[in-house]
Structure 1
């Protein structure tokens, strides 16, 4: 895990330079819309759907695409889940600095924990593997969940 503080973010440093001491409530009131907060919450604590005895991220679920992956991966459920339930944080966030890039790696690790919790709460009879990768040699930090 990276040693990163909220205060290391350039946007927060700029904010505190103008208003003084950082206060999360005041910062969010001034900078984060409800739609933005709700969107981030949907990504951090996702809902899942069950299909063909597998579990998929509801936000990105497309039955035709999943069926295609079942064909390509010879009905290997966990393999299909790992392809379909694989996201790159760069597809959702555009880091503007090294600090923000590092923050995305921390966010990926935290998301892995919240995805694990969300999936197990929604499907307590199932077990899941969740992985966070820093994306070295790939396309940025990634998170994936599949049945264990």
Structure 2
């Protein structure tokens, strides 16, 4: 038997703290935590990040939640009418902003792991919704950014 993992093991101090309250931890795993603590509505809401809606406009593919015609027009002018460059800008999602209302101290490793998972999900969704197009989906963890970032754009042929 071989286990094929899709994601790294969850590294979470919150999860470890929850786990420590139990005397017998041998049967506890991430699914036990989800069953005990996570609200289904919160999980459903986060699916909008994992499986976003898109807008197809002027040969570009954009996150619906971040797209306006005004922003598109402004960036087209700034990017010399390069739709791929505009996609990179408008499809740029900072994970810190997604959880902007969270006042808890969250380890950067959690945001970095979420960043990779969101990127993996976007790759699958874009392939499913636009099978005729090629995309570059990036999970960016850099000191040059405001925390981990996920973005995508079409690959020029």
Q: TM tier, shorter chain?
A: 0.7 to 0.9
Q: From the two aligned structures, give the one with the greater helix fraction.
A: 1
Give the Å deviation of 1:4. 5.2
Structure having greater relative contact order (Cα 8 Å, sep ≥ 6): 1
Report the counterpart of residue 54 of structure 2 in structure 1.
48
Instruction: Return 5+ residue gaps in structure 1 as ranges.
Output: none
Report the counterpart of residue 113 of structure 2 in structure 1.
106
Instruction: Return 5+ residue gaps in structure 2 as ranges.
Output: 1-6
Report the counterpart of residue 74 of structure 1 in structure 2.
80
Q: What is the number of residues matched between the two proteins?
A: 143
After TM superposition, the score normalised by the length of structure 2 is 0.80
Alpha-carbon distance in 2 for matches of 1:47, 1:117: 13
Q: Deviation string for 1:36-94 (max 9, x for gaps)?
A: 11221111222222011100012222222122211222210000000000011111235
Report the counterpart of residue 3 of structure 2 in structure 1.
none
Give the Å deviation of 1:140. 0.7
- 1:135 to 2:154 alignment: no
Greater mean deviation of Cα atoms: 26-35 or 70-79: 26-35
RMSD over aligned Cα atoms:
2.0
Alpha-carbon distance in 1 for matches of 2:149, 2:68: 20
Matches within 5 A, 1:19-58: 19=22, 20-21=24-25, 22-58=28-64
